[in-house]
Chain A
C-alpha cells in the first residue's frame, strides 16, 4: 500500500535510511550469491584458481543418487509443515483462551525456541539413545523388551529427526499465532462459541479465516526453513545417516564443499537448492493467493 503523499519521505531521505540496509544486503547476500552461481559453472577446490566446467556440475547433479535422496528427504520434511502449523496453532489457541496454567505453558512452549539447535540436537541424541531415558521409560511402562535405536534405525531416523525439529521450533509458531490472535476482535471468536462451533469446526471456520495471512506467512517461513535451516540438527544428531537416510541438500552441500573439497559442485548444489526453494515458495504463494481469490 502506498502511503498518502503527506506521509511520504523526500527521495534523498528515503535513500538515506535505505542505504545501510541495502549495502549490507548487497555485500553479504547478493554478491556472495552471485559469486556462488558463477562458481557453479567451474571446477573449483576452494583454494586453487577455478577452471571453467560449463554445465558439468549440473549434469552430474542430475545423475547424483545422493542428491535425489536428499531432495526426497527435504520434501518429506516439507510434507510435515502442515503438522508443524497445526500444532502451533492449536496450542496458541488454547493459550489465547487462557486454559488453566496458560501463563506457564506460554513460557515453557517458547523455551525450546531460544535454545540453539546444537543444544536441542545434543539433548535429544542423549534421550533417544538405545539405552537412553526414552526407551527406559517405555520399558518401565511395561514393554520390557522395547528398545528402538531411534536415530540409527533407517525406518525411524527421519521421523524422529522431524519430531525433534518440531519440538525445537513449534514455540516460535505459538508466539507468532498468539500475536495474530491478539489482533483478531474477540467478538468474532466469542460469536463463534455462542453459535455452538466447537473443535475442528471452530478452528476451521472461526479461527483460521482472520488468521489467514499469519498462517501464510508462517507456512512460507517453515517451508524455507525446512530446506535451508536444519543443518545443525542433522549435523549433531545423525550426520545424514544411517547411510543417506537423513541426508538433506544443505548437508550434502556442506559435505561436498568442506569434506570432499568440491566447492564448484557445492555451488551447483546451492544454486539448485535456491531454485527449488524459490519454486516451492512460488507455488505455495500461488496456491494460497489463488484460494483467497
Chain B
C-alpha cells in the first residue's frame, strides 16, 4: 500500500516538473512584458522589475496599429467562417441527402483539398489573387479557404448519422429541401458545427505565412503578420519587454477564450482529427 503511494507521489512529481518546464517560456515572456521600460531584462534578471508596468503594452500600441490588427483578424475569421458555414452545409447536405450521378467522383475531387494543403500552393495562388485584383485585402487572405473539404467531410458524417426516420418524417410532411436543412439537419448537428467553427477560427487566427505574403499594408494585415514588425527590433535587451508585450497582445484573446471554453475547444480540436 505504501509502496503504491510512493509510486504515485513519484509519478506526480515527474508530471509536475515536466508541466512546469512546459509553461516556462510563456510565463517568462509574460513576466518580461510587465517590466518597466526603464529596467530592461539583462544579465541575472529572471523576474519582474521593481514595479509592474504596462509601459511596454502602451509602447507596443503606439508602434503598431494593434487596434487595426485586432479588427482585421476579427473580420478575417468571421468572414471565413460565415462563408464556410454556408458552402459546407449546402455541400454536406447534398452528399448526405441525395443520390446522384458522379457523387463519389465529385466527393473525391473535393477531398483533394485535404490532401494538397493550401499552404503548399502559395505560389500559384499568389498569381491568382493578383489576377483577381484583390492583392493586399482581407478578402485575399480568406478566399482560398471559402470552400472547405474538411468541413464537408465532417458535416456529411454528422448528417449521415441522423436517424433516417426523422428525415423521412420531414419529407412526408412536405418539407422543402431548405426546410429539411433548417429544421432537421442543422439542429441535429450543432456539436459538429461548434467543433468545426472552433477549428476554423483558431486556424485562421493563427495563420501567418499566407497573410504575410498576400498583404503589404497595415490596413489588411492580421495580428500574426503584424507581430513580425517587432521581431526586427534587434536583440537589444531593452526591446524584449516590448516584443513580449506585443506577443501577449496576440495570444491573449485565444488563450482567454480557451480558458473559458476549455471543453468545447478540446472537442473542436479532436474533431479536426476526424478519427
Does B associate with A?
A: no
Where the two chains meet, the residues of A that have a C-beta atom closer than 8 Å to any C-beta of B are none
Residues of B within 8 A of A (CB): none
